[in-house]
Amino acid sequence: GAGVSQSPSNKVTEKGKDVELRCDPISGHTALYWYRQSLGQGLEFLIYFQGNSAPDKSGLPSDRFSAERTGGSVSTLTIQRTQQEDSAVYLCASSPTGSLPMNTEAFFGQGTRLTVV
């Protein structure tokens, strides 16, 4: 597709269940980012992929959170045993990788709104 696609757009789950969020980046973009945004807050960095590897996982809040990327394309973010504090919008972005001074802006998907009840 032309842009970053995320699915589902909305997810309501019961506390304790596992959820899987999907991100389809723009074709050819080597960098992929996951962020979490709570209501009225900024973007909290979760994890970053360069190709299929994740050089920086420092933002994952706990070991209930994991992410993978396959084929240098689709990524899934998995949250196990969801808690109410996991409720937020999960945003995915992708960008090409380039050297200075090339602008390698990140393009965002519309996000997945997760509600844990």
Partner 1 sequence: GQNIDQPTEMTATEGAIVQINCTYQTSGFNGLFWYQQHAGEAPTFLSYNVLDGLEEKGRFSSFLSRSKGYSYLLLKELQMKDSASYLCAVRDTATGFQKLVFGTGTRLLVSP
- The answer to whether residue 35 forms part of the interface with partner 1 (CB under 8 A) is yes
- The answer to whether residue 7 forms part of the interface with partner 1 (CB under 8 A) is no
Q: Tokens at residue 99, please?
A: 């050297």
The binder of partner 1 chosen from 15, 55, 68, 81 (CB under 8 A)? 55
- The answer to whether residue 28 forms part of the interface with partner 1 (CB under 8 A) is no
Alpha carbon separation from 80 to 44, 49, 52, 93 (Å, rounded): 19, 20, 21, 22
Contact 30, 96 (CB under 8 A): yes
For partner 1, the binding residues (CB under 8 A) are 31, 33, 35, 41-43, 45, 48, 50, 55-56, 91, 93, 95, 97, 100-101, 103-111
